[in-house]
Amino acid sequence: MKTELKRSITRFGTGLLFAGALVMLAACSGNDRAHKPAELAPITNKFDLAPTWSVNVGSSEPFNFHPLVAGDAVYTSSKNGNLYKIDLQTGVTVWKVSVPEDLSVGPGSDGQTTVVVSTKGTVYAYDQAGAPIWNLNLGSEVLTEPVVASGVVVIRTLDSRFIGLDALTGARRWNYQRQQSTLSLRVGYGMLPINNEVIVTGFTGGRFGMLAIANGGLIWETPVSFPKGFSEIERLNDVTARPSIDGEALCAVSYQGRIGCGLARTGALMWFKDFSSYTGTAQSTEMVFAANEKSQVSAFATKDGSLIWESTKLMYRNVGEPLAIGRAVFMGDSEGFVHAISQSNGEILARIRHDSSPISAAPIAAGGLILIQSQGGKLAAYSPK
């Protein structure tokens, strides 16, 4: 489950995976098992999220899969190897493919080439009709969803390698290797593609940066925060969540570190504040929203970081990645509820029960719909009314 993924820690160099007591220590500041989730007060929805269509695509547990939209279709997958292309407006399955192995991440796609990665580190690629076109074993575990853009498939491995593959043939076009921290979270590190030209992503050690999709070159790198504390557990300081962007403002947050916003062209931070999150940020024109590891939700002014509001209504509900759209911030929780929070004051505007399993991935706004997928495998489209 997501709570176990976010607590996983890997020590590189020795090849040992920390578990048990160390895993619990890593999440001591945000251990949802030690706290009772906040009870949900009854509300009257200010607007409705009317269900349009729903399909069960299969469980992703214990992983956290993200669906994606490319063109007029939704691409998604399940842990047991089922890969789907679904019509965005109707929910009708366009095609379904059975990948030969279990999967560790959701798909990447540009609508022409769709790729998934197995638990054994093999990349499988399919064309727009769902026919297999190539596969390649990378010899390393992958927990980050691939990006497909400008004819390149970008894969990020757990040992901090970025690999650019030709989307049509699978041939290697470039490699970029990061120096790995001694101790880091064993999770996916979200990649944010911008204009099919660059990727912005977080790194271990509290840093994030921008890479060129065409050649893997590092364009800039900026620290969000710096490790602090005496033990290696205390000094865990990774930017694991996918950064967010609105206009020229780019925002990121680190685990046991800071939240900050800067300029997308250079990465230079305009401000930063102490904050800890593994679920990332969402932005409107003037504000950035994030939930800390206790599920306290905060809104900051994008221009200077001043606190606009904070809400404890969802404390310890283990909320997932946020989506800011319209006047609301949408986020799911570990019990399958989806909450619409007012961007202006943090009040709960609406709530629905999607299903009973955790919702870790950010909702997606596309084609006038809000798409939500739970770890249990329910993918549904809702129409705000």
Scored b (16 or more CB within 10 A) or e, 283-306 reads bbeebbbbbbbbbbbbbbebeebe
- The pLDDT of residue 204 is 79
Structure letter (DSSP) for residue 118: B
**What's the CA gap between 111 and 190, in Å, rounded?**
20
Is this prediction's pTM over 0.95?
no
- Give the chain's length: 385
Q: What is the pLDDT of residues 139-159, one digit of tens each?
A: 999 999 999 999 999 999 988
Compute the half-sphere exposure of residue 304: CA atoms within 13 Å on the CB side of its CA: 3
Task: Pick 350 or 160 by higher pLDDT.
Answer: 350
Amino acid at 58: G
Hey, what are 368's tokens? 């006038």
Q: Is the pLDDT of residue 24 over 70?
A: no
Q: What is the pLDDT of residues 300-349, one digit of tens each?
A: 999 999 999 999 999 999 999 999 999 999 999 999 999 999 999 999 99
Report the percent of the chain where pLDDT is more than 90. 77
DSSP labels, 270-310: EEEEEE--SS-EEE-SSEEEEE-TT--EEEEETTT--EEEE
Q: Is the pLDDT of residue 16 over 60?
A: no
Mean of per-residue pLDDT scores for the chain? 88
CB 257 within 8 A of CB 294: no
Q: What is the pLDDT of residues 41-75, one digit of tens each?
A: 999 999 999 999 999 999 998 888 999 999 999 99
Q: What is the pLDDT of residues 188-221, one digit of tens each?
A: 789 999 999 999 998 877 889 999 999 999 999 9
Task: Pick 369 or 6 by higher pLDDT.
Answer: 369
Q: How confident is the model at residue 255 (pLDDT cuts 50, 70, 90)?
A: confident
Beta-bridge partners for 330:
323, 340
Q: How confident is the model at residue 291 (pLDDT cuts 50, 70, 90)?
A: very high
User: CA torsion sign, 113 to 168 to 156 to 60?
Assistant: positive
7-36 mean pLDDT: 42
The SS3 assignment for 7 reads helix
Hey, what are 299's tokens? 């809104």
Q: What is the pLDDT of residues 92-108, one digit of tens each?
A: 999 999 999 999 999 99
